[in-house]
Every structure is written in structure tokens, then in C-alpha cells.
């Protein structure tokens, strides 16, 4: 199975698991290790370490009445199920955190536009039943919510192509180059981490690529079979885009108004500057793709290196300004002086924006 999050051993998680485990095992003499581990969503090693602890546990306050549970490595045997009274073996009520974790996740998954309708209905029914069973513990779950986003039509086509193992043709927008390119891809899986992505083998670049669904301009399912090479799937807990060590370095200096760059771009370092800004060092396979960032920053930051990138941003800005002299004058006869007085208004506008954004 892919993408199962690895978690450090935790006494609370283990205790809650063992409490459910005794209830479960009581009903199933000779249960197979493999099946129990799967039902509990844990590894066989984790299960075996629980089975090591359980024989040290018991219910009688006089002692000497420990659970006699053991395993031959394949099946689990409980020789004295009566040691646990009916009271202690009942399935336990859900805790507030448990109800919250399960209900918030279920409601979030139900918002995925690409979910099959029958699955969504099943999820909604299950959510209502869990809410009812959790009772008061479900109350706090309204204090947490998650919205996934994905483009419904594109999602459905990708999902279908994956299940029918067919190749896809897409027109895909790349913001780095501000261009839409056509490619054929062999889809592998859909991933929702904030945005929804399809991980695929790209036939144009003969490499693994991740495509954000909201950047797919057009999509078609082809008749050709999809044949992605066997590749190891990445751990999803890592960021989707990981710069490589050999990628060229870019240094950006931002003022206080450009500190958001450090939140949005994975970077190697961000040093505080005396004016409240940051000096950010990051790596990218394609520094030219950061021209957009340099332009966007405007007065709030500048590219320190590489020089090529700084120059290209400056050239682009000058070229853009030249267009204003021509096109805008033609459009409404606006002259440079009028433009300047509007510019003053622009400053006020941005200060207002800052207040709003800085909430």
C-alpha cells in the first residue's frame, strides 16, 4: 500500500489501539496476524509489539489475573477471554479528538468534486451515523474544517483514465513560462494536498511530472493504453516540489512587504535584514522562471543574483512601461502627468490594502 503515514510510537495511540484490540480479539479466536494488522491499519510489527504488552495487563485489582494472549507467529490465541469481564470488553465510546479527526476528514473528502457519487453518498451516510454514535463528542468537530479543491471535469477524466489504464492528452499551463503546451501523459495517481494534482509519466519529457488540475486547460482520454514505467511512488508527506542540490541558486532580498516569499517558496535560508525584510536563498532548476516573482515584488523586493535574472526582470518592466506610453495614450489620451497623479492615488490604495491584508 502506498502513502501510509509513518508515525512515531506513542503510548496514548498504542493504549487506545490495545483497548480496541482486546474487544476485537475476544470475538475472533485464532485471528490471523495479517488480517488483524490490516483491519487496524498498522504494520504486523506494531501488532506484535502490542501482543508483547497485552499479557502484562489485566483487570483484577488483586492481580494475578493477566490476559493470557499469545501468538504462534501466524494466528493469535487468547486462552482466558473470561479474564476480561463483559464490562471491560465493550467497544468504547469515541473521544472528542477521535470524533473530530474522523468527522472533519470525512466532511473534507465529501467536498472533493471528483469523488464518485456513490462513494459520496456512502460517506455522507457514514458521517451521519458516526455523528449520532459520537453524541456530545462530535460537538467540537465543527471547530475544524478543511476544503479540498479540484476541477470537477478534469478530475473525472483523470480518474477514469487511471481506472481504465488509458493515456491522456492535455493542454497544460506552465506559469514559469506563461505558456500552454500539449503533452501526452500516462497518469499514475491523483493527490490532493491543498490543490489537487495528477502524478504521471510525461511522454514528452520522458520523466515523472506532477500536474496541478486547475492548470489543465483542456483534456482528452486517448485510446492508447497507459504504460507508465514502474517507478517508486514518493512519500506524500514531503513537499510535492523538491529542488535538487545541483539546481542553480537564486538570492532575493525583500522588504517587510515581501516576506510572504518565504512562505510560498521552499528555500535554503532566510536571513533577517535590519529593515525588517529578508534575504532569501533558494534553488530552482530554471531561474528564468522567477522573472514573474521579480516583477510581482515590485517595490517590495529585488533579485540579487543571478545577474541575468535581475536584468531580464528590469528589461521586461521597461518594455512594459514603454507599451503604456504607446497603447494607453492611444486608448484615452492619457498623458504622463495624469498618470503620475493617479500613481499617488495608487499609493493610498495600497496602504488600505495592507491594512486589510494584515488582519
Partner 1 sequence: MAIAKAERLMNLALCLLGTRRPLSKRELRESIEAYLEAGSDDSFNRMFERDKDDLRELGLVIETVENLDGEVGYQARRDSNSLPPITLDAEEAAALGLAAKVWQQARLAGAASGALQKLRAAGLPEDVDPYEAHGALEPRIPVHETAFEPLMLACRDRRPVVFEYRKATAARPEPRHVEPWALECWRGHWYLAGFDRDRGAERVFRLSRITGKVRSRGGAFTAEVPDVVTVRETVASWAGETADRSALIRLRSGAGYPLRARATAVRELGDGWDELEIPYGHGLDAWLVEFGPDVVVLDPAELRADVVDRLRAVAKG
Which of the residues 16 through 55 are near partner 1 (CB under 8 A)? 16-21, 23-24, 35, 38-42, 53-54
Say whether residue 59 binds partner 1 (CB under 8 A): yes
Stretch that binds partner 1, among 68-76, 138-146, 245-253, 281-289 (CB under 8 A): 138-146
Q: Is the CB of 64 or the CB of 229 nearer to partner 1?
A: 64
Task: Measure the CA–CA gap between 154 and 118, rounded to whole angstroms.
Answer: 19
Out of 153, 194, 248, 285, name the contact with partner 1 by CB under 8 A.
194
Strand, helix or coil for residue 167:
strand
Q: Which helix (H) or strand (E) holds 254?
A: strand 249-254
Out of 169, 292, 305, 306, name the contact with partner 1 by CB under 8 A.
292
Neighbours of 87 (CB within 10 A): 7
User: Which sign does the torsion angle of CA 274, 277, 279, 280 carry?
Assistant: positive
**β-bridge partners, 189:** 199
Say whether residue 153 binds partner 1 (CB under 8 A): no
Say whether residue 91 binds partner 1 (CB under 8 A): yes
The residues near 205 (Cβ < 8 Å, ≥ 6 apart) are: 183
Minimum CB–partner distance for residue 72 and partner 1 (Å): 22
Residues 314-333 that bind partner 1 (CB under 8 A): 314, 316-324, 327-328, 331-332
Cβ atoms of 157 and 150 within 8 Å: the answer is no
Q: Which helix (H) or strand (E) holds 122?
A: helix 117-134
Say whether residue 142 binds partner 1 (CB under 8 A): yes
Calculate the CA 86 to chain-centre distance: 43
Say whether residue 4 binds partner 1 (CB under 8 A): yes
Stretch that binds partner 1, among 73-81, 146-154, 202-210, 223-231 (CB under 8 A): 146-154
Strand, helix or coil for residue 350:
helix
Minimum CB–partner distance for residue 109 and partner 1 (Å): 5
Say whether residue 85 binds partner 1 (CB under 8 A): yes
Cβ atoms of 238 and 247 within 8 Å: the answer is no
Minimum CB–partner distance for residue 79 and partner 1 (Å): 17
Minimum CB–partner distance for residue 95 and partner 1 (Å): 3
Amino acid at each position: 500500500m502506498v502513502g501510509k503515514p509513518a508515525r512515531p510510537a506513542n503510548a496514548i495511540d498504542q493504549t487506545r489501539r490495545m483497548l480496541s484490540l482486546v474487544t476485537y480479539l475476544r470475538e475472533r479466536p485464532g485471528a490471523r496476524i495479517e488480517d488483524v494488522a490490516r483491519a487496524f491499519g498498522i504494520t504486523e510489527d506494531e501488532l506484535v509489539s502490542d501482543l508483547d504488552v497485552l499479557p502484562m495487563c489485566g483487570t483484577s485489582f488483586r492481580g494475578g489475573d493477566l490476559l493470557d494472549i499469545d501468538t504462534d507467529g501466524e494466528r493469535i490465541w487468547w486462552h482466558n477471554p473470561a479474564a476480561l469481564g463483559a464490562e471491560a470488553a465493550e467497544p468504547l465510546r469515541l473521544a472528542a479528538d477521535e470524533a473530530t479527526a474522523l468527522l472533519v476528514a470525512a466532511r473534507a473528502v465529501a467536498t472533493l468534486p471528483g469523488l464518485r457519487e456513490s462513494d459520496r453518498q456512502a460517506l455522507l451516510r457514514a458521517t451521519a451515523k458516526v455523528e449520532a454514535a459520537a453524541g456530545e463528542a462530535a460537538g467540537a468537530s465543527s471547530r475544524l474544517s478543511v476544503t479540498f479543491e479540484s476541477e470537477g471535469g478534469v478530475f473525472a477524466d483523470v480518474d477514469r483514465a487511471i481506472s481504465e489504464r488509458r493515456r491522456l492528452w492535455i493542454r497544460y499551463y506552465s506559469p514559469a513560462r506563461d505558456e500552454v503546451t500539449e503533452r501526452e501523459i500516462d497518469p499514475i495517481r491523483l493527490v490532493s494536498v491543498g490543490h489537487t494534482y495528477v502524478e504521471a509519466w510525461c511522454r514528452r519529457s520522458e520523466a515523472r511530472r506532477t500536474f496541478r488540475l486547475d492548470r489543465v486547460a483542456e483534456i482528452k482520454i486517448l485510446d492508447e493504453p497507459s504504460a507508465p514505467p514502474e517507478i517508486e511512488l514518493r512519500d506524500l508527506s514531503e513537499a510535492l516540489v523538491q529542488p535538487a542540490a545541483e539546481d542553480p541558486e537564486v538570492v532575493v532580498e525583500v522588504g517587510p512587504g515581501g516576506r510572504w516569499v518565504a512562505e510560498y517558496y521552499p528555500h535554503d535560508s532566510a536571513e533577517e535584514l535590519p529593515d525588517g525584510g529578508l534575504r532569501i536563498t533558494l534553488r530552482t532548476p530554471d531561474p528564468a522562471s522567477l522573472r514573474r516573482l521579480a516583477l510581482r515584488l515590485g517595490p517590495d523586493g529585488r533579485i540579487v543574483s543571478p545577474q541575468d535574472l535581475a536584468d531580464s526582470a528590469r528589461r521586461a518592466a521597461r518594455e512594459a512601461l514603454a507599451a503604456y506610453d504607446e497603447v494607453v495614450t492611444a486608448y484615452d489620451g492619457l498623458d504622463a502627468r495624469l498618470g503620475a497623479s493617479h500613481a499617488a492615488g495608487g499609493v493610498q490604495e495600497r496602504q488600505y490594502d495592507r491594512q486589510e491584508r494584515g488582519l
